[in-house]
Structure 1
Amino acid sequence: MSRNAEAASDPTHPDIAIIGSEIEGMYLARAAADEGLSVVVLDPRPKPGGQLLEGEMLFLDEPLGDNGQVLLQGRMKELFDAFKNGKIRKISEFRAYYDKLVKGIPMESGITLTGVDVRQDPDATGRFVDSVAYRTKNGEEKTVYPRYVVENTDYAALTSQLGLRRIPGMETVFGSPDGSPDYMAASLMLKFKNVDWAVFQKEVMKLSKAQREAKYGSETFVNTTFTWGFGKVGAGYDSGSDEWFLRGLNTVNQRDGEVLINALLVYGVNPSDEASVRRAVEEGKTQTQRIVSYLRKTLPGWSKAEVNGYPDYLYIRDFDRYETEYVLQGTDLMSGRMYWDNVSIGGYEIDLQGTQNSKWGSRKGNPDKYGMPLRSFEAKGYKNVIVAGKNVGASAVAYGSARIQAQTALAAESIGIILGQIKGKYELADMTPDRMKVLQDYIAKKYRITLTGVKANDKTKGLTAAQRELFNQGKLVIP
């Protein structure tokens, strides 16, 4: 029996096995399933949803081109539209959205990977994953033989087992005492209730720009939905620990006096170690109690604020990533480079969040827009391994922008469509520019996702070769 026939009749031979349930990979799952492929999700986390649902990272970062050009496309645009107009703000609303997205796709949570069988293709053109063995939460041993396998965790559960080279991380930008790997901080999302947002907005925004910045920090702004800035507020908080830091307050109004803040950074968390994560979550609860007392005294409209529960998990920004067929560089982004195999169009500032060795982090530049190629989502040397979300192939500098959820979600959706279209015709490793053009045209016509013909401003003009190299190393800022 052929692999295609097996996939249709045998759940142990799916077209696609996705490891992890982060929402980015779920867009790939949904698109592939809608294109007629069989998909299974094997999730090492005890509950589905990862960063979005367990970590409650509900402050969505929107990629924009120059002059505020909206770059959102695909299914995630629907989520952003509902988020911006206030229909999806609370965790229950995000959960309902997620459940609708994954409806009908088999998912096993709480699994443990026990083996990955890597084989060499008979024609010696590359390796492939033949099977993935795992243990269910009930102790049952199982194996799947997928046509394609997708890394969709926040700690490289699959790709860390494939013998791939780790892409050098933040230690190459900010350094580390012994050259050991370093990562952007994780966050525990802060949840509060009984905040009078109308008073908060009125009292802050009645100040002039100069007054706001003198009191609260640069770029401070409050509208009916979000806040930015408040760096001085964050800096004024004493966490009592070198491992915890409150930065500027990215706050979203969730309605009914409920707010969510993305600002509390924690350094040194290892997301592949459950004990490390649990310790950080518990310590973060104590920090949250201290922070609400601080904000009651510091911000108008917050005098009655209370803690509104705690997430079960962290927002993990950064961990080990492994080499892909093409690794994006900072100058690729800043020059607005496009690719023959574009699967997404990105456009978000290169924002390197703080690390243990550089608490504040750094912003390196603000690209107009740029392409994200299929090759940056294909594990190097593997014919059937795809990476999703935060596993994107990007250098430490490029990752500051490439990591943004909306951009990698669009890539995942495009790849899911592509896998559906090429099944039975050829393999992903056999992609050519002519074949890709046909697929991009199909995606544009059926799904209204534009991946070709996009022009971008080149913000690297005038840089010497030496300056370009310095930028790619994180040693130069492009204004």
Structure 2
Amino acid sequence: MLTRTTWMRLCVLTLVMALVIQLSGGISTAEAAAKSKSLNDFDVVVIGSELQGVLLAKAAKENGLNVIILDPRSKAGGELIQGQMLVLDPVNDNKGRSLIQGEIKSLFNGYNAGTIRKLSSFESYYKRLIKDIPIKNSIVIESVEIDTKDADKSVKSLTYRAKDGSKYTITSEYWVENTDFNVLTSKLGGTRISGMEVISKVNKPDYMAATYVLKFKNISWGKLHQKVLEDYPLANVRKKYGANTYVDWNFATGFSNLTFDYKPQNSQLMLRGLNATYQKDGEVIINALLIYDVDPSDPKSVANAVKKGKEEAPHVLKYLRKHIPGFEKAELNGFPEYLYIRDYNRYETKYVLDYPDLMSNTMFWDNVTIGGYPVDLQATRKVKKGVGYGKPDKYGIPLRSFQLKSYNNVVVAGKNVGATIKAYGSARIMATTALAGQTIGIIMGRELQNNKRLSELTKADFQRIHKYLEKDYKIVLNR
């Protein structure tokens, strides 16, 4: 037991040491407290590691904000890396001019040039984006504290459980929903935007099918290309193989006359027309095996769908060997760990983009991205072959379509965009929502320097914002 004298000497020694540390430039008690606080206070918290939110996080960090990514999934990368959805869709206006801008353009440039085709090159690209951004995987949101004192609510803090079971409460200026199953926004009491039930005419929520991406090797792409060329002109090709059939030295689409005759082993699956990319060295990746009724918020549903996709793959292989030129000696080339989720619950935003906005080429005062992809709604159990509603020329999507309704500090990223189901058929495309992610991240950082929040921005502000986006980032959004 310490004597009173020894205890007093220890107290004096502790005070002296603290004073010495402070005078010598070390960490003071106040500084230590501030540092401890900063570990739990952020400018931007991104929930989920899908590419679009990662681009937002990167842009925000580059513009001076304190950013963290909290990922409910066990591994980072989402559909792009874990789902290996490496088949990229271009976005063009009706004159064939690319509408892809910003950071995502470097990915598409590499993809089109053939230098970014295989998983390893996509992983390198993704790792570059997340460099220096802290990511915590396998988190579980325990609770969300909501401030209701203003007309628009705000998320004040969030408590999550880490992988090791520890609990943390954090605060942030902005919160970004970046998962494919709305792990944050589903807890905030918003109104769900009607989904495919509007098209399928069923009396319950309905969703476009997910995809299990198929990977093959030992493909003779040259033979596939040559055999299709022999059937030209293109009208004859499409009569033989199906609408939208096309093959060049890098990409192939269509063949629906053949694929729709495939009989899957499981009624939850369907093989639609091929959307294939040649990855070089005889390797091909195909986005075509649809899986109905996947609930991305339920790990068991996802695991079951992945299992069924793996079990179906050898049967698809056998069928393609028999029916698709160049696939005679094909072999399976591994399996993704996850799925490509096209569609799940989305919640109302401050402006819900509508189909007439697309088809009338609407440009908004607060544009944060430009779209132009065809209105493409994929299959459900009832809408067996999907449905299209035309090709818009060029349209804008406003910041308001990425701001959760009734909240002043919640942003939705990627396929969570606020759009009616027909508008969503075009607006959901990755290149379009990726540009929005980067743009919103830039605006967050630069406008906070002026003490302006997203919810406070006016038409006059956006005239200024569009100017610096064009001047400093070559992102053109107002014409």
TM-score w.r.t. the length of structure 2 is 0.91
Task: Name the CA distance, whole Å, in 1 between partners of 2:308 and 2:265.
Answer: 11
1:403 and 1:229 map into 2 onto residues whose CA distance is 21
Q: Secondary structure at the match of 1:115?
A: strand
1:433 counterpart residue number:
459
- For 1:447 and 1:368, the matched residues in 2 are separated by 24
Count how many residue pairs are aligned between Structure 1 and Structure 2.
445
Match in the other structure for 1:129 = 155
Deviation sequence 1:233-283 (CA, Å, 0-9, x none):
211211133311111000000011110000110100000000000001001
Task: Report whether the alignment pairs 1:120 with 2:148.
Answer: yes
CA deviations on 1:96-154 (whole Å, 9 max, x unpaired) are 10000110000001111111111113xx2210001111111111111110110000000
- Is 1:80 paired with 2:108? yes
Q: Give the counterpart letter for 2:219 in structure 1.
A: V
Which residue matches 1:477? Answer: none
The residue number in structure 2 matching 1:196 is 220
Deviation of 1:9 (Å): 6.6
Report the Cα offset of residue 440 of structure 1.
Answer: 1.3
> Partner letter of residue 198 of structure 1?
G
Map of 2:52 onto structure 1: 24
Specify the SS of the correspondent of 1:173: helix
Alignment of 1:275-290 (within 5 A): 275-290=300-315
The aligned residue for residue 444 of structure 1 is: 470
Contact 1:194 1:257 in 2 (8 A): yes
| Matched position secondary structure for 1:138 | coil
Which residue matches 2:6? Answer: none
1:128 partner amino acid: S
Partners of 2:327 and 2:454 in 1: how far apart? 53
The aligned counterpart of 1:319 is: 344
| One of 229, 245, 248 as aligned partner of 1:205 | 229
* Structure having the higher Rg: 2
Aligned to 1:108: 136
Post-superposition Cα deviations, 1:28-67, rounded to whole Å, max 9, x if no partner, equal: 0111011111100000001001010000000001111012
Partners in 2 of 1:255 and 1:399 — Cα distance?
33
Map Cα deviations across residues 383-430 of structure 1 (whole Å, 9 max, x no partner). Answer: 100000010000011100000011011011110000001115222111
Distance across 1 between alignment mates of 2:303 and 2:222: 36
**C-alpha distance in 1, partners of 2:350/2:34?**
29
Match of 2:402 in 1: 377
Aligned to 1:95: 123
CA distance in 2, matches of 1:338, 1:56: 33
Structure 1: stretches of 5+ with no match in the other structure = 455-479
Q: CA RMSD in A?
A: 1.3
Does the CA contact (< 8 Å) of 1:205 and 1:221 recur in 2? no
Query: Residues 265 and 312 of structure 2 are in contact (CA less than 8 Å); yes or no, is this contact kept in structure 1?
Result: no
Residue 143 (structure 1) aligned with residue 180 (structure 2): no
Taking the aligned partners of 1:232 and 1:296, their CA distance within structure 2 comes to 16
| Cα distance per residue 1:205-238 (max 9 Å; x no partner) | 2112344223311221110100011111211211
Distance in 1 (CA, whole Å) between partners of 2:419 and 2:467 is 26
Residue among 417, 420, 439 paired with 1:395: 420
Q: Would you say the 8 A contact 1:18–1:151 is kept in 2?
A: yes
The normalised TM-score by structure 1 is 0.91
Stretches of 4+ aligned residues off by more than 4 angstroms: 5-9
Aligned-pair CA distance for 1:7:
9.4
Asked if the contact 1:351–1:363 (Cα under 8 Å) also holds between the matched residues in 2, the reply is yes
